[in-house]
Structure 1
Amino acid sequence: MLDELRRTLQAEAPWPVVQVVAGWGGVGKSEVALQFADRHRDECRLVWWLIAETAQDGRAGLGELRWALCTPLGSAAVQAPRPEAAAWALARLAAHDRWLVIFDNAEHPHLLEPLLR
């Protein structure tokens, strides 16, 4: 499974690649994501793990990514409200290659689709 993830995510594409690991709770999806991130961390410019049980959790996690990326306190991105912060983080993700963002515990991935557009 890890090799299949690597092949999919390393494919040349003009847009960010989304890969879903699905299955029943407790079967090891988070462990697969953790192993993948650990094995390939040197190939990534950024690895970000966020809890995404709900769309609100996903937005909050992207807002935290914004905080991590915007160190200058006066930055407009740091002061932006949460929805704008999530949009800013997604724009940064789309503009850079080799960033790995893991949305963990996404019980209903379709709820995250608006965040990934």
Structure 2
Amino acid sequence: MKLHTHKLVFVKLSRLMIGVILLYLSGCVYLRLLELKNQFEDFDQYIEITTDSTFSLFFKEPVLHKDDIITLSRLNPTRKIILPDGEEWVYHFVKQYKANAPDQQNPVSLIFRFKFD
């Protein structure tokens, strides 16, 4: 009887620990998202905008990790570029039109580039 009780306690504690670990791991992403949100609230201190030939946002103190981008978007990058000082991920989105839509002649696309150290 004692062995059965100890085994039951062990199983319950194991499940609790696994639950806490899973909550903690997924919670880290949400904490970093909260930190990103806070950076947007103090925009000038944390974010720089450039509009040379493209519109770009540069985060002075980036908080999201590479894995966070995949976790949140549920998409792998369209392209990964290995750089001497890190890595660049490119996400290329192209608007999908209905067949024979008048706007189909003017394709719209968005390109997101993430650079990681």
**TM-score of the aligned structures, taking structure 2 as reference length:** 0.28
Structure with greater contact order relative to length (CA < 8 Å, sep ≥ 6): 1
Structure with the higher strand share, 1 or 2: 2
Looking at CA atoms only, which structure, 1 or 2, has the larger radius of gyration? 2
**TM-score of the aligned structures, taking structure 1 as reference length:** 0.28
